[in-house]
Each structure stands twice: as structure tokens, then as C-alpha cells.
């Protein structure tokens, strides 16, 4: 592994700063990575598995093979100079040993310096791995990263609340994942300010959340002490909505959209 990859991993970790959160507008291919990387203030990128799958005509939920997921990550990493965190779903493996193998491959073959790792058996509302099993999978990812020498930033996802589960279990999972080697907890279901505050009080580490219309405003999330905000497939939604509006405008013989003159290049 290169010194540059180590430096990128260290930078990515340092950017998860409570009160000054890392904002990652999720990307899904080389051109979206390039465009977002050129935006003012952007210092790191993150992929969204939902988007990576959908643009290939596949459903989210490990519709990609591990080989396809790693190849997609490599295209994005190679397109930019910034640190890239990869939404690695459930590690594309049924057991901890498989997670370890695949995470090591991701680091070595793509150059990624961060991952999201889910704790659900299927979609967010599907049953979750029990806590010892899920924690072992996080631990396996950490062990694999250590074997490469890259201080991989593990953003361990807790799906409990989003799946209709109980608060105490969600917090127990979060703290178990931190103990197992996670750097940040991606806590789904924090849809109001009180829940964000409570998570920050009860989880023994940094918190990552997803932003969307109706969620706690970004500035307030920063004030509360959140460390990272991402948008999942929402950024794909923004892109497709703009494309659809422009298609309707052009089809109706309307004005040329101002952004029709595409300024970006790979």
C-alpha cells in the first residue's frame, strides 16, 4: 500500500469532526466523482450503493457481485485525488471471514480508504444480524484493514430504528461496533433533533447521519455535534430530476437550459 493511500485514510478520519461535519454528496461513477470533487469546499467523496446499482439497471442490496463493486469503486477512486469512502453494503459475504477477504480486496484493488458496512441481513427493514455476529463482521473489516497497513475509516451502519426496532438495541449495536473497531456510527432513523441529541449522548463515538428534506437542517446538525452527513441515493435523485425537467423543456421547444453547455471533463 502506498504512503498516499495512508495519508488519504488519515485525512478522511480527521475530517469526521464533531461540530464541523464532513459533508459527502454521494457519487456513483467517474464523472459524478469528478464533478463533485470540483465543487468548492469538497474534501472527500463517498459512494452510494443504491446509485451504483441503479445506474447499472440493478436493485440495491448487493445486486452487484463483489468483483463488480470493487471495479466500480476503482473507477471512482482513479478519477479523483480526494479520499473515497465506499458503500460496501454488507461486505458481499455471508460470514465474517468473507467480509475480511472482500474488504482487503477493496483496499488493495480499488484504493478506497473508507467503507460503510451494514448490519442488516437484507434491506433496512429486513432482520438484522444479531449483535455478536454484526460486531464480528466489523471486527473482521478492521483486522483486514490492519493487515494492509491502511487505517481504513469504518462507518458502521445501524439500521435498527429505520427498521422499526427499539432505541436501546440501536445504541447497544452502535457501541458494540465501536468496540469492534468502527470509527464512526452511521445511525439511521435520527429523524428529529431530540433523537440526534440522544444518540450523541449515548453513543460512545462519532455519529454519521443521512440528510434529506424534512430532516434536521445541516447547520443544526453541525451545532449539535454530528461528524458526517451523507445523502445516499438522494444525489442521484437530484440529477435525474434535473434531467427529466430539462427533457420536458426541450421537448416542448422551450429555451435551452443554461447547463446544457456541459463544462466538465474527465
Give the model confidence (pLDDT) of 180-212 as tens digits. 999 999 999 999 999 999 999 999 999 999 999
Q: How far apart are CA 3 and CA 6, in angstroms?
A: 5
Cell of 109: 484493488
Backbone φ and ψ for 119, nearest 5 degrees, come out as -115, 15
Strands across the sheet containing 153-158: 22-24, 228-230, 206-210, 184-187, 153-158, 114-117, 84-87, 45-46
Q: Assign 124 a pLDDT band (cuts: 50, 70, 90).
A: low
Percentage of residues in the chain with pLDDT exceeding 70?
Answer: 97
Residue 261: pLDDT above 90? no
Residue 262: pLDDT above 90? no
Residue 98: pLDDT above 70? yes
Among 47-61, 90-104, 161-175, the minimum mean pLDDT is found in 47-61
pLDDT of amino acid 158: 97
Residue 242: pLDDT above 80? yes
Looking from the CA of 148 toward its CB, the CA atoms found within 13 Å total: 28
Q: How far apart are CA 6 and CA 13, in angstroms?
A: 11
**Per-residue pLDDT tens digits for 165-187:** 999 999 999 999 999 999 999 99
Percentage of residues in the chain with pLDDT exceeding 90?
Answer: 91
**Per-residue pLDDT tens digits for 76-94:** 999 999 999 999 999 999 9
Average pLDDT for residues 143-165, to the nearest whole number?
96
Q: How far apart are CA 210 and CA 24, in angstroms?
A: 10
Q: How far apart are CA 45 and CA 22, in angstroms?
A: 10
Q: How many residues does the chain have?
A: 266
Q: Which residue has the cell 444525489?
A: 235
Cβ atoms within 10 Å, residue 14: 13
Q: How much is the mean pLDDT over the chain?
A: 95
Please report the domains of the chain, with CATH numbers, ordered by start residue.
Answer: 3-253 (3.20.20.60)
> How much is the CA Rg of the chain, to the nearest whole Å?
18
Q: How far apart are CA 193 and CA 200, in angstroms?
A: 11
The structure's pTM equals 0.95
Amino acid at each position: 500500500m502506498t504512503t498516499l493511500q495512508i495519508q488519504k485514510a488519515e485525512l478522511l478520519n480527521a475530517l469526521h469532526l464533531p461540530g464541523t461535519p464532513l459533508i459527502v454528496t454521494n457519487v456513483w461513477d467517474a464523472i459524478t466523482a469528478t464533478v463533485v470533487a470540483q465543487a468548492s469546499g469538497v474534501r472527500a467523496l463517498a459512494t452510494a450503493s443504491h446509485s451504483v446499482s441503479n445506474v447499472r439497471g440493478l436493485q440495491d442490496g448487493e445486486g452487484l457481485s463483489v468483483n463488480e463493486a470493487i471495479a466500480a469503486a476503482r473507477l471512482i477512486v482513479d478519477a479523483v485525488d480526494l479520499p473515497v469512502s465506499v458503500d460496501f453494503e454488507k461486505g458481499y459475504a455471508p460470514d465474517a471471514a468473507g467480509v475480511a477477504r472482500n474488504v482487503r480486496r477493496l483496499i488493495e484493488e480499488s484504493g478506497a480508504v473508507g467503507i460503510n458496512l451494514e448490519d442488516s441481513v437484507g434491506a433496512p427493514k429486513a432482520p438484522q444480524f444479531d449483535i455478536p455476529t454484526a460486531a464480528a463482521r466489523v471486527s473482521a473489516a478492521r483486522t483486514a484493514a490492519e493487515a494492509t497497513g491502511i487505517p481504513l475509516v469504518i462507518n458502521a451502519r445501524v439500521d435498527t430504528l429505520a427498521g422499526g426496532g427499539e432505541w436501546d438495541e440501536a445504541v447497544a449495536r452502535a457501541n458494540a461496533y465501536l468496540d469492534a473497531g468502527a470509527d464512526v456510527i452511521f445511525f439511521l432513523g435520527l429523524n428529529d433533533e431530540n433523537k440526534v441529541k440522544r444518540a450523541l449522548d449515548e453513543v460512545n463515538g462519532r455519529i454519521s447521519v443521512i440528510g434529506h428534506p424534512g430532516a434536521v437542517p445541516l447547520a443544526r446538525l453541525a451545532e449539535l455535534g454530528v461528524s458526517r452527513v451523507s445523502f445516499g441515493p438522494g444525489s442521484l435523485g437530484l440529477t435525474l430530476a434535473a434531467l427529466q425537467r430539462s427533457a420536458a423543456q426541450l421537448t416542448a421547444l422551450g429555451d435551452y437550459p443554461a447547463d446544457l453547455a456541459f463544462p466538465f471533463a474527465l
